[in-house]
Structure 1
């Protein structure tokens, strides 16, 4: 059978082109010269907006952020972005990005350890900087994440990383900043006698878990005092909980579980508590405020928890938390492929009560404060890392979000990704097919 040379050439080109184009872009080189963007609307991240602004940065740090009229352009490479918007890079908390690639392929999943009590597990050492998903997230303005282990009762420690690095060591912004505790679910009696025995067994198991957890915290407190001479990795990893150098992230949703978990942590002497998930946060908002507990809210695009709740409750919970004065941030739960939609859940919150700049803060500066990295990132201010994005439209609106530049620590990040490549590939394919349709066929179809 004869094969036309044209098809052989096309096949060879495809074999060479696909692997190259589908690769994760290489990390950007360090900033080599001062840069300044002028003419944009600047959304600082702290609620302030400056029209016709300028942002300059050098050696990875912001040197100027304010009105264009006050900027010194001398020595800077000036880029005119008139009509566009400058935002701080968005931060996704509570994520397994880089720890989980393809859920149906076990070898690509590295987000949990065997066992129930693993405070010494470090999620960051399993971080895969070559994940295909990371570039798709950056393209929508999400430039940092909190690597969070899952599973068991105490999953391990999380770390904050930036999303443009050769390896996990280069990616670290703040290592091992908190321990994650999945609060044991409370049992609800159903009145069904067939479930009595099962509920009894579950209750006994929960009681056992609570006792083990209490013992571990008590032992860690003793270990901190220096009364144990032998090194214990599990206990040493928890020492920071008692002096405030580490946070305790309690994952729970039900209101009574939130109260129970916070009371437990305070009883053990934990200094800094954050609740994650917190679907019932509004129901216990006074308790959260009284105990100075921050919230990482995961349910903006979820259904209401109960049939009798307002269908809009998940959308307006961020506004209600803000109104009550509870520190909060938003996350896209653990669905890694959805993290690119982080700006749009903030946009939903803005449509249901939050001011647009408050919504932006909920995925930037508020998150940075809760995670303890606000001195470095979270807002476009002088002295902070030049981790920012430029968009032709509103970053929080799915219709207008179009990131044209992204910088991480002053490095110009490549915004190409596998999804863009596939989009362009098939767009070109169908355009070519349309051009090949004879004019007679088009007119016949019209008739």
Structure 2
């Protein structure tokens, strides 16, 4: 009997531990009644109604304003909160699995200048990490390459699909440039010759980058029918505004230098990623209408003389200055830690933002910077029905408890290996 039952239990364990099957398209209209609606635009509506059909929102507003229930599958969410699906920019989610195991990491290409590299074709919809991220409300992500000087092109994906083609929301939304760090003497023992060599290496990098961007700008002017150059053609969107140049930089001087560099070469849309010294150049960012994808809110100050809470209060400083910004999650264990995006926003609430401003920073603001706000980022009639329902405040780790999630109207399975193991060992130890 033991020999007969063992294969059965092993098979059952394996089946339960698999990534959940992607949801089927929405079959019937759904109406969520009685919850507190957070639209993502700053508006909060008590006792709301949210109706959606064929993946699009039909209504999102006060319950009294929507009386039609015939034909709808009605779900009572009284006492709960309804939010737009969270959007995670600048992430290796889906292209990096176990960061300490090289064979599971596919987030960078060999070489320094790879503008034609597309991260989305490496995106793994069967990642075991993705379901754990959805459990905290993250439903869309910007799959972003790493490494080199010009890393390649990112794409925006939704986190419930059979393959990368089905997951794709916006292909090749921008190119990612890691700005060469300014040369400063960090080690007092470093001699002048070594410092000069580092400065010359940086100058060479900038010269090569300028040459490539200049070539790409000239390439666009060539007549139709020319032999295609993949490296140059992939950069064409930078000069007509269809693609964004995401510049990864932190120091204040680097932020100003990189933006001026890009604008001088004709790049139309620039966004700064990281930007930990953005508080030093707020006027410059505002005057030049530069968006910021802010990283490392959960971090120590960069300098001994900085305020102890400088990273925590930077979102509020950007908000007060009128700078366009959104929040990402970047730090140690970048992929597995992506689930904490909502709590990054929660920290920003403690240090100056309102709850709705913080929510906007991980929903609508992200959608605007990524160029997908026509369909995602807020709960408004006509937009995609991509939303989550939580028992408590989504931005507070003590009350975040997602009970339902929808991507384009499809009801997403809130299961992962971790939820399976939780049930397994609760059963083992008799925990209710």
Pairs within 5 Å for 1:211-226: 211-226=207-222
In 2, distance between residues paired with 1:26 and 1:177?
A: 27
Aligned to 2:314: 317
In 2: Cα distance, 1:148 partner to 1:190 partner:
30
Name the structure 2 match of 1:247.
244
CA distance 1:394–1:194, shift in 2 (3 Å): closer
Q: Distance in 1 between matches of 2:142 and 2:267?
A: 21
Local SS of the residue matching 2:47: strand
Q: Which whole-Å CA distance do the structure 1 matches of 2:143 and 2:325 have between them?
A: 18
TM-score for the superposition, normalised by structure 2 = 0.96
Question: Cα distance 1:286–1:129, how it changes in 2: closer, same or farther (>3 A)?
Answer: same
SS of 1:422 mapped into structure 2: helix
Of 4, 24, 28, 1:33 maps to 28
Q: CA deviation at 1:107?
A: 1.9
In the alignment, structure 1 segments of 5+ residues that lack a partner are 436-447
The answer to whether 1:117 aligns with 2:113 is: yes
Of 59, 63, 66, the residue aligned with 1:64 is 59
Q: CA deviation at 1:311?
A: 1.1
What is the CA deviation profile of residues 49-72 of structure 1, one whole-angstrom value per residue up to 9, with x for unaligned ones? 000000000000000111111112
Cα distance in 1 between the residues matched to 2:430 and 2:85: 35
- Give the TM-score normalised by structure 1: 0.93
Equivalence for 1:340: 339
Segments of structure 2 that go 5 or more residues without pairing to the other structure are none
- Cα–Cα, structure 1 residues 404 and 378, in superposed 2: closer, same or farther, change >3 Å? same
**Corresponding residue SS for 1:360:** helix
Q: In 2, distance between residues paired with 1:200 and 1:26?
A: 56
Determine the C-alpha separation between the residues in 2 that align with 1:8 and 1:276.
Answer: 56
1:202 is aligned to 198
1:392 alignment counterpart: 391
User: CA separation in 2, counterparts of 1:94 and 1:282?
Assistant: 20
Greater shift, 186-195 or 324-333, is seen at: 186-195
Count of paired positions: 428
CA drift of 1:191 comes to 7.0
Residue among 85, 88, 91 paired with 1:89: 85
SS of equivalent residue, structure 1 residue 304: coil
Report what 1:428 is aligned to: 427
For residues 233-290 of structure 1, the C-alpha deviation after alignment (integer angstroms, 9 at most, x for no partner) is 1110111101111000000011111111001001001111000000000111111111
Which residue matches 1:440?
none
User: 1:137, 1:104 → 2: CA distance?
Assistant: 19
Larger Rg: 1
Q: Say which of 283, 295, 300 aligns to 2:297.
A: 300
Distance apart, 1:319 and its partner CA: 0.4
Q: Indicate yes or no: 2:19 matched with 1:20.
A: no
